[in-house]
Amino acid sequence: MPTPPDTASAGPAGPTDPAGPTDPAGPTDPSGLSGAAAPDAPARRRRNPLPELGFGAAQLGNLYRVTTDDEARGAVDAAWEGGIRMFDTAPHYGIGTSERRLGALLADRPREEYVLSTKVGRLLVPGPGDGDDMEHEFAVPDDHIRVWDMSGQGIRRSHAESLERLGLDRVDILYLHDPEEGPTEQAFAEALPTLAAMREEGLISCIGVGSKDVDVLTRAVRTGLLDVVMVSGRYTLLEQPAAEQLLPACLDHEVEVVAVSVFNSGILSRPTVPDRAKYEYGDAPVDLLQRARELAALAVRHGVELPELAIRYPLRHPAISSVVLGMRTADQVRQNIERCLREIPEEIWEQIDA
């Protein structure tokens, strides 16, 4: 589940409260992104929800193209300066490259001031080393490859190896990553109980599942084990399949929701929708192009832009606390912070909901 290009990726819960998320940004957060409801959002159901905006680090793993060290450093610095205190990565992102880069860039930040998440389910083992990883959309050498392992031992090993790559002593949230693509039954029989045991042991604060499959996510929520889910591209301005069962289940079980891929792989990422806009990593079908252009025109009529609607829309649902966006450069970070803080006229939502 990589973050779409320069758009959206994962989000975590509080570093010290295993029962639920806290506000990691604290009272000094300069951005207004630390969890307080925006004027156009309904009251949150939890006292301390996750921060509204998080930094997704798939681009730090060279998603689609190489991200330079200067770009990566600039992006994380801009995020911190802008008040972002939630960072997400995964072994999958650049075969460990994202974890190594993000850990190094966070190393000098006060650990108690931010929330960090990574993911388990894929182990990294030595690879051929004579090519690249563009088959998985990452511009890195294939000196390692991914191997599915959702056994209890595999989950613990993945967590330990992530800490080593990050160079940090803990992560706050551990997500089971894309269980629908791997050994799904093993994920439910072994991985989720192991994650719950690790939480009880104090190794992590919160556990979750990250996926684009609403059925798998709903099933996981109904186990009663989870603190948070990351839903990829299934509750967006363009489409809301998560609304039928997943989000009600999250409310029922008091599971936080982090929305990622809110631009649907690119179709909602620009003020003007191009003819070759991407949806689900391919060319968008005609009907979705038309709908996206209708939404873009509606935004213009009210003095805002389509990406601003796309970021704010998921946060209106009472189950969703956070949007996490994949960002490659400092300029993208600053732009997305501005977009997240933009107040949207209520009449726009009334027209969209009609």
Q: 103 Cβ partners below 8 Å, 6+ apart?
A: 165, 166, 167, 168
Give the separation between CA 221 and CA 215, rounded to whole angstroms.
10
Please, which contacts does 181-187 make with residues 24 or more away whose CB atoms are closer than 8 Å?
Answer: 182/121, 182/122, 182/148, 182/150, 183/148, 183/150, 184/216, 186/150, 186/151, 187/121, 187/150
First to last CA, the chain: 32
What tokens were used for 75?
């992006």
Rounded to an integer, what distance in angstroms lies between the CA atom of residue 55 and that of residue 31? 14
> Could you tell me how far CA 255 lies from the centroid of its own chain?
15
Q: For residue 120, what are the β-bridge partners?
A: 176
Tracing tokens 């993208």 back to the chain, one arrives at 332
- Token output for 266: 């690119």
From the list 342, 340, 343, 277, the residue with the least C-alpha distance to 55 is 340
Of residues 93, 175, 235, 279, which has the active-site annotation? 93
Q: Is 93 noted as a catalytic residue in this protein?
A: yes
The token pair at 57 is 């680090």
- 8-state DSSP, 264: G
Q: Which residues are catalytic?
A: 93
